[in-house]
Amino acid sequence: MEMYVVDAFAERLFEGNPAAVCVLEAWLPDDLMRNIAVENNLSETAFTVREGDSYRLRWFTPGGEIDLCGHATLATAFVLATVVEPQTDRFTFQTLGGELVVQRSGQHFELDFPAYRLEPTAVTDAMALALGVRPLEAWLARDLVCVLENEAQVVDCVPDQAALRDLEGLCLHITARGSDFDCVSRTFAPKLNVSEDPVCGSGHCHLVPLWSKKLGKSRLVARQASPRGGTLYCEDCGDRVKLAGSAVLYAKSELYM
Give the active site residues.
44
Note whether 108 and 245 are within 8 A (CB).
yes
CA 240 to chain centre: 15
Pairing of strands 90-95, 54-61: parallel
- DSSP line for the chain: -EEEEEEES-SSTT-SEEEEEEEESSPPPHHHHHHHHHHHTSS-EEEEEEETTEEEEEEEETTEEES--HHHHHHHHHHIIIII-TT--EEEEEETTEEEEEEEETTEEEEEEEPP--EEE---HHHHHHHSS--SEEEESSSEEEE-SSHHHHHH----HHHHTTSSSSSEEEEEE-SSSSEEEEEEEGGGTEEEESS-HHHHHHHHHHHHHHHT-SEEEEEE-SSS-EEEEEEE-SSEEEEEE-EEEEEEEE---
